[in-house]
Structure 1
Amino acid sequence: MSLIKVTNLTFAYEGSYDNIFENVSFQIDTDWKLGFTGRNGRGKTTFLNLLLGKYEYGGHISANVQFEYFPYPVENKDDQTLDVVAGIYSDYVHWELARELSLLQVSEDVLYRPFDTLSNGEQTKVLLAALFLKENSFLLIDEPTNHLDLHARQLVGDYLKGKSGFILVSHDRSFLDRCVDHILSINRTNIEIQKGNFTDWRENKRRQDQYELAENEKLKKDIKRLEEAAKRTNDWSNEVEKTKYASHNSAAFIDRGYIGHKAAKMMKRSKSMERRQQSAIDEKSKLLKNIESSESLKITQLAYHKGRLAELDKVSIHYGDKTVCSDVSFTIGQGERVALIGRNGSGKSSLLKLILGESIPYDGTFRKGSQLRISYVSQDTSHLKGNLTEYAREHDIDESLFKAILRKLDFSRDQFEKDISAFSGGQKKKVLIARSLCEKVHLLIWDEPLNFVDVISRMQIEDLLLEHAPTILFVEHDREFCENVATKVVEL
């Protein structure tokens, strides 16, 4: 066991006015299985790059381990997988590699195939197995679950549960719960570490947020009460002070010394109230800094004139001699939330494209309602470019609503001025989702919409779908999202 110590870490990208990290200090035990979470754009990947020494920074990072980053960059994917492994760790022992692959349920045969011919899941597993062979290394694992199906996520999660000494960036709640024992979270104003899995961290966060909101309400009432009391006392003091200078024709005897003393006492009391008020304001300012904005989103979907929007009866899809799925039967009814699940390569995306109206070769019966309007969110975000105003105009959506949804999904106003091509992967996915929610349609079709999207935004989107119950057909490998959202599951 050794420690990774971060002391007064300060960092900002060149040309930026705002620090991503400012005087951040904490320490990590190298035996931990550390889950790393936080909103998109908060600096998770940046922090991993700082550990790797890629940027200049203020403060100090000390560690007695070598950092290894996942996904490992494979320059020539046409190489045999065995050569790729040797490029990662030339001193590996073959039986140890075979043992790791066996734990991940990967056949040794893949080692003798070109790396490019492996599935996404197989590539992920091979790279993890090779990196964990390195002794005295601490792995920085950056979103390994993207494009992994449910079965592969379970396997990789169980594998990581048996390991130690890593930081895992993931937005999949079930995956984090399966394999971590500490959580490192980037909050709005600080970084903190807690023992436990994601569910433990979330419950602690909920309790802390509730406490701070209750304290905030209490202090708001105290401040208002003190303001009113201070104003009354100040008014009384002024009125008493005026009597010192009453007309000389007054019949009453005026004891100016007594009146002055009384006015001074009232003024002192007023000042005391002001100090208590300021103290309450100071305490209030310490609260709510790390409460994440998770306002509910609003959508309206067009009602379709029939109860059934689409039907597939014993549909099989073929590409040449290859059958990607066979005898698939299901319907999409008004208000249904249909999850399409299955291993990678089982034909999920092909079925979505068939329903979208693309020319997909199929057998069986497929019916789709006439004049059915569909909004599609694809896996691919590489086409996104230009500014958000132009994007809204191009897709004929309400710009104000579009940007309001993005604000609620944690976009800063500065983000609105940037080119979309410069956004992070999660921010690009949010652009596609926000656009889809703004479109006036009868059916949403989303293909792996949550890849790269942070966990708080996932829960917001989940709540939205439960609250407004739009008709949606979706492919998603986040187990908890599927279990919470779907009214119907179609497994291929």
Structure 2
Amino acid sequence: MSLINVTNLTFGYDGSYDNIFENVSFQLDTDWKLGFTGRNGRGKTTFLNLLTGKYEYRGTISAQVNFEYFPFAVTNPEEYTIDVIETVYPDYLQWQVMRELSLLQVAEEVLYRPFATLSHGEQTKVLLATLFLKENSFLLIDEPTNHLDMQARKLVSDYLRTKHGFILVSHDRAFLDNCIDHILSINKTNIEIQKGNFSSWWENKRLQDNFELAENEKLRKDITRLSAAAKRTAGWSDNVETTKFGTRNSGIKPDKGYIGHKSAKMMKRSKAIEARQQAAIEDKSRLLKNIESSERLKISQLNFHADRFVEFSNVAIFYGEKTACENVSFTIERGDRLALCGKNGSGKSSLIKLICGADLTYTGTFSKASQLKISYVSQDTAHLSGSLSDYAAANNIDESLFKAILRKLDFSRVQFEKDMSDFSGGQKKKVLIARSLCEQAHLHIWDEPLNFIDVISRMQIEALLFEYAPTILFVEHDTAFCNNIATKTVEL
């Protein structure tokens, strides 16, 4: 066991408006299975890069371990997988590699295939197994679940549960709960560490948020009372001060010294109340510091003339001689929230392409209601560049509503001035989802919409789908999201 000490860490990117970290200090134990959570853009990947020495920073980071970053950059993916492993860890022993791969249910034959021919899941498993073989290393595992199907996520999560000495960035609640024993969270104004899994951290946060909300309500009432008292007291002192000059034709000469003294005392009291009021306002500004904004989002779905939107009956889709899927039968009806599940390569994306109008070869019966308007969110975000305003105009959506949704998904106003190509992966996915929510559609089709998106935003999107009940077909490997949202499930 050893400690990683972070002391007075301060860092901001060149040209940035503000620092990502400001005088941050905390300690980590290298034996921990540490989950790392926080809103998109808060600096999780940046912090991992600081640990590996990628950027210069102020403050100190001291550790007696070597940091290994996942995903490891494979410079020549055409090499055999066994050669890639040797590049990552030249001192590996074959039996150790096979032991780790067997735990992850990876067949030995993948070692003698080009790395590029492996699936995303196989690549993830091979690199994780290799990195964990390194001695005196602390793994920095950055979002390993992206593009992994549910079965692969469960295998990787079970594997990580047998290990220790890592930081795991993931937004999959079930994945985190299964394999971590501590949480490191980047909040709005601080960084905190708690023992336990994601669910225990979230429950503690919910209790703390409720406490702060109750305190804020009491403080708000107190400020209202103090404001009224200060106003009355200021009025009293003013009224007393005017009596120094007496009333017209009263014939009574006032005692200006006494009245001035009384007025000064009243003014002093008024100032004291004003000071109390200001102190209360400052206290209020310190409250709610870590309550995440999670306002409700609004979706406007078009009414449709029919109850049944799409129907598949014994459908098989082909690419040349290859069968993408077969014997597929299901319907999408008004109000359905249909989860399309199955391993990667089982044909989910092919079915979506067919619904969206792609010219694919298929057998069986497929029908789609005429004049059905579809809003589609793809897996790919690489095409996003330019300004948000131009993107809204190009997609013929209301820019004000588009940006309001992004604000509710934790975009700062500064973010609106940036080029989309500079956004994080999660921020780019939020752009696609916000666009979809602005589009007038009968059916929403989202293909792995939650990749890179933070947990709190996932919960917001869940609440939206519950409240407005749009008709939606989605592919998503986040078990908690599927369990919470789906009214129907189709397993391929």
Asked if these proteins are the same fold (TM beyond 0.5), I'd say yes
1:134 match: 134
* Residue identity in the other structure for 2:168: L
1:446 match: 446
2:171 match: 171
TM-score by length of 2: 0.97
3-state secondary structure, aligned to 2:245: coil
Query: Residue 298 in 1 paired to residue 298 in 2?
Result: yes
Q: Deviations over 1:145-196 (max 9, x none)?
A: 0000001101101111111110101111111111111111111122111111
2:325 match: 325
CA distance in 1, matches of 2:341, 2:40: 26
2:184 match: 184
Deviates most, 68-77 or 10-19: 10-19
2:402 match: 402
* Residue identity in the other structure for 1:376: Y
Deviation at 1:390?
1.4
Q: How does 1:76-91 map to 2 (within 5 A)?
A: 76-91=76-91
3-state secondary structure, aligned to 2:306: coil
Deviates most, 56-65 or 105-114: 105-114
1:361 match: 361
Q: Deviations over 1:207-239 (max 9, x none)?
A: 111111221221121112112112212222232
CA distance in 2, matches of 1:200, 1:277: 37
1:243 match: 243
3-state secondary structure, aligned to 1:238: helix
Q: How does 1:201-350 map to 2 (within 5 A)?
A: 201-246=201-246, 250=250, 254=254, 256=256, 258-350=258-350
Deviation at 1:99?
1.1
* Residue identity in the other structure for 2:287: L
Summarize the Cα distance change of 1:85–1:270 in structure 2 as closer, same or farther, 3 Å threshold. Answer: same
Q: Note if contact 2:246-2:252 (Cα within 8 Å) is conserved in structure 1.
A: no
Alignment coverage as a number of residue pairs: 492
* Residue identity in the other structure for 1:39: R
CA distance in 1, matches of 2:290, 2:139: 28
Deviates most, 405-414 or 273-282: 273-282
1:468 match: 468
Summarize the Cα distance change of 1:258–1:133 in structure 2 as closer, same or farther, 3 Å threshold. Answer: same
Alignment gaps of 5+ in structure 2? none
Q: Note if contact 2:35-2:184 (Cα within 8 Å) is conserved in structure 1.
A: yes
Deviation at 1:247?
5.6
* Residue identity in the other structure for 1:56: E
Q: Deviations over 1:450-492 (max 9, x none)?
A: 1111111111111111111111111000011111111100001
Query: Residue 116 in 1 paired to residue 125 in 2?
Result: no
CA distance in 2, matches of 1:411, 1:247: 61
CA distance in 1, matches of 2:410, 2:251: 71
CA distance in 2, matches of 1:272, 1:158: 61
2:15 match: 15
* Residue identity in the other structure for 1:190: N
1:56 match: 56
Q: Note if contact 2:244-2:259 (Cα within 8 Å) is conserved in structure 1.
A: yes
Summarize the Cα distance change of 1:160–1:258 in structure 2 as closer, same or farther, 3 Å threshold. Answer: same
2:41 match: 41
3-state secondary structure, aligned to 2:284: helix
CA distance in 2, matches of 1:96, 1:240: 89
CA distance in 2, matches of 1:482, 1:248: 81
* Residue identity in the other structure for 1:292: E
3-state secondary structure, aligned to 1:315: strand
1:489 match: 489
Summarize the Cα distance change of 1:440–1:248 in structure 2 as closer, same or farther, 3 Å threshold. Answer: closer
Q: Deviations over 1:276-309 (max 9, x none)?
A: 2222122112112222111111111111111100
* Residue identity in the other structure for 1:52: T
* Residue identity in the other structure for 1:182: H
Deviation at 1:256?
5.0
CA distance in 2, matches of 1:15, 1:313: 56
1:411 match: 411
Deviation at 1:320?
2.6
3-state secondary structure, aligned to 1:332: strand
* Residue identity in the other structure for 2:342: G
Q: Note if contact 2:246-2:253 (Cα within 8 Å) is conserved in structure 1.
A: no
1:161 match: 161
CA distance in 2, matches of 1:141, 1:203: 25
CA distance in 2, matches of 1:248, 1:42: 68
Deviation at 1:252?
5.5
TM-score by length of 1: 0.97
3-state secondary structure, aligned to 1:365: strand
3-state secondary structure, aligned to 1:226: helix
CA RMSD between the two structures: 1.5
CA distance in 1, matches of 2:380, 2:243: 79
Deviation at 1:330?
0.3
Query: Residue 426 in 1 paired to residue 426 in 2?
Result: yes
